[in-house]
Amino acid sequence: YVPKDQPHLEFDYDGCKMCIDTSIRRARTCAFISLVWAEGIRAYCSRSFDNFVWVNTFNNPSMNKAVGMAQITLFLALFTPGLSTEVLGLYVYEIHSFGWAIAFLGAFSCGVGCELYKYFASKFIEEAELADYKENEEDRTGDIALRL
């Protein structure tokens, strides 16, 4: 019901549904891109508990190949007709540069979060001397004991 003296309250439900569907498609596409990029960044962040991501970043050739293959697979999934839209529900041509920027910011913030966690956790590990544990040889019961 729309009062006759307030025609500005009229609402276009079909236009709204189209807007919502388009927004969901764009969000899904940005989230997918950000997820793949974040996993690549997280892989480099989690190489070491002691060193930050920028220390010897590309020293592991196997990991570089794996992250590279993930990026190639991402772009194949995004730009293969039929696979991207009908199967995965990704609409890469709808997100424009703003969507790519949002995806990058999501992945970058994941990397920043991982590095911040590593920084603060290292303080607790050093404090509790958990970084220098060694495994003993098997004791008489056959169990392996850890020495802190």
- Tens of pLDDT, residues 128-142: 565 555 655 555 555
- Tens of pLDDT, residues 46-68: 887 777 888 888 888 999 999 99
Q: What is the pTM of this model?
A: 0.69
DSSP SS3 for 100 = helix
Supply the DSSP symbol for 70: H
Which structure tokens are listed for 88? 């995965």
Q: Which amino acid is at 52?
A: F
- What is the helix, strand, coil percentage profile of the chain, to 5? 65, 5, 30
